[in-house]
Structure 1
Amino acid sequence: MALRASANGIEIAYDTFGSPDDRPLLLIMGLGSQMIHWDEGFCTLLADGGHHVIRFDNRDVGESTHFHDAGTPSFGGDAPYLLGDMADDAAGLLDALGLESAHVAGVSMGGMIAQAVAIRHPDRVRSLTSIMSTPSPQAAPPTEEAMAALMSPPSPDRETAIARALETWKVIGSPGYPFDADRVARLAGLSYDRAYDPAGVARQLAAIIASGDRAPLLKELSVPTLVLHGEQDRLVPLSGGIATADAVPGARLVTYPGMGHDLPRPLWPEFAAEIGGLTAAAER
């Protein structure tokens, strides 16, 4: 059962790994994905590397507050909130946990939110890790196949939700690594059981589209920054990672052949080592 905190006027579900005495690391997940998509094994690896890991459900997914009254926005229509509001949620969670600042890492939309946290709350961010993300959708448009997978219709039941997740991740996952169907199916089932809310995902997508280009503001950052990106990402192509690294002064870009729009288990030690190196250096 997730812990709960009041932050930025909403309820946020979260949990933690490791010692509170270690370097705080806030993990932000991507579009429609719940905190459980930060695998416990990966979180434990990060904790073993000297981090107090905090993962949480963004608004409109999982066990955090859902904005049901806002309905389902049309594609490209008015967004009931922006990524900046989601960044304020993350900063509010730090407040609720009594943390003046933390290292912040995000994947995909979570990377966009992490960027927004660094822009809006620079004193709260000790380091920034942006993974398979982009400063704007225009910098890294998805392939037609990836976009079609992302826009699949809502599922009428749990079994269909699992089947569609398998279809989606076969398209956008990492072609250079074995497809872990058991993991995808397990997480899809758990996500459905925790909260199935396609309208919430649509509201998150509207926030991405409406939030504009962060590149000009990223150029003003002075935070140690790491950018990780797969070279075979079809949902947020490598151009997004390059644009992020180009925008943030001094950012380090690391790319991975064969990696698509997921976090392949064989690469977890490399991801953990890169993130740990960044956070340790930032502490010094």
Structure 2
Amino acid sequence: MERIADNRVLNELLEPDGGAFCQISTGELNYSLTGTARRGTVLLIAGLSMHRTDWSPELIAGLHAAGYATLTVDNRDAGRSVVSGRHTGFGAGDEFRAEYGLVDMAGDLRELILALDVCQVHVVGMSMGGMIAQHLALIAPELVHTLTSVMSTTGERAVGRPQQESKWVFLTPAPTDSREAFVAFSERYHAALAGPHFPDFERARETASMKWGRGISLDGTARQLQAIQADGDRTERLRRVAVPTLVVHGDADPLIDVSGGAATAAAIPGARIHMIEQMGHSIPWQRAGEITDTLAAHFQAASA
């Protein structure tokens, strides 16, 4: 798979006409539904502080070529989605308090799937998005054809730990005083996540500029992080997942150690894990083809 460098193509894949809005019970979600669903629709769930425009355009193009439509969404408190609501519980022992939880974020997506009438979907979540995807498979298995948890974890503290030099990404707020400062920060952030093998600073600048134009919410990122912390260890809950499941993880992930992916695969009955050589905590264009092929095989096996 070749790297997509044409800005027009990037915009068509990531931000066609600013996306669309869907009204749900707690607000509205900004989404983009592109491609032709000859073989089905893939819901791509973004990670912490990510916008839907942060997904790999090469992966999206690859899924389109394989016969799948893609549905990307701004999670609540990110991008152009405006959703309010309160968490139905505070996690084990009230150790962390959050305004909402990951299960509420999964509930937002459940409403979106029903409103757009695209069920059943192949659900692919990255990082925090993988955690939300896990919840979606638990609360709405009838809407989920397959589950893929990418570079994510179970919430158990003993696994998926970040490397010491990457911990700053959780503690350092992005600057919001100027586009230039935000883009420069995003390059440093990208370097910390991508690792040493596949940095792509040009792409990091492109997506950061797109993100800046869509709006940055530091408070929203903090609330998302609180939701992750409040969710606690999902290991026992994951044993109830009953949809075909694939776990994808890079063997050079500096932010969520590969042990998090291994624990996820071990917790979900029948799940299998696919390791991506030299991949960090982002999807480089050099590995997008491998991931596309792996996803397509997973989807087709479940449909056979």
Contact 1:150 1:168 in 2 (8 A): no
Provide, for residues 26-54 of structure 1, a one-character-per-residue CA deviation record: whole Å limited to 9, x for no partner: 11010000000113332121011121111
- Does the C-alpha gap of structure 1 residues 207 and 142 become closer, same or farther in structure 2, counting only changes over 3 Å? same
- Alignment size in residue pairs: 278
Listed as ranges, the matches of 1:82-121 within 5 Å are: 82-121=101-140
Match of 2:69 among 47, 52, 63: 52
Residue 150 (structure 1) shift: 3.0
Question: C-alpha separation between the residues in 1 aligned to 2:171 and 2:84?
Answer: 20
Q: Deviations over 1:55-83 (max 9, x none)?
A: 1110111110155999xxxxx75210000
From 135, 156, 159, the counterpart of 2:180? 159
1:67–1:193 Cα change, 3 Å:
farther
Using the alignment, how far apart are the partners of 2:267 and 2:119 within structure 1? 26
2:240 aligned with 1:240: no
Give the conservation status (yes or no) of the 8 Å contact 1:67–1:200: no
In structure 1, what is the Cα distance between the partners aligned to 2:256 and 2:62?
26
RMSD (Å) for aligned C-alpha atoms:
1.8
Cα offset, 1:182, TM superposition? 0.7
Alignment of 1:26-175 (within 5 A): 26-65=43-82, 67=84, 77-136=96-155, 138=157, 139-155=159-175, 156-175=177-196
Instruction: Confirm whether residue 194 of structure 1 aligns to residue 214 of structure 2.
Output: yes
Kept after mapping to 2: 8 A contact 1:13/1:57: yes
The answer to whether 1:15 aligns with 2:39 is no
Whether the 8 Å CA contact 1:23–1:103 is kept in 2: the answer is yes
User: Cα gap change, 1:181/1:137 in structure 2, threshold over 3 Å: closer, same or farther?
Assistant: farther
State how far apart, in whole Å, the 1-side matches of 2:226 and 2:78 are.
14
Offset of residue 204 of structure 1: 0.4
Contact 1:66–1:200 (8 Å) recurs in 2: no
- Distance, in Å, in 1 between the alignment partners of 2:68 and 2:204 is 26
Say whether the 8 Å CA contact 2:44–2:124 is kept in structure 1: yes
**C-alpha distance in 2 between matches for 1:69 and 1:54:** 25
1:207 Cα offset (Å): 0.3
Alignment partner of 1:206: what SS? Answer: helix
Structure 2: segments with no counterpart, 5+ residues? 1-17, 88-94
Partner of 1:73: none
Letter in structure 1 aligned against 2:303: E
Q: Which amino acid aligns with 2:190?
A: W
**Cα distance change on mapping 1:243 and 1:56 into 2, 3 Å:** same
In 1, Cα distance between equivalents of 2:107 and 2:195:
31
Q: C-alpha separation between the residues in 1 aligned to 2:86 and 2:244? A: 39
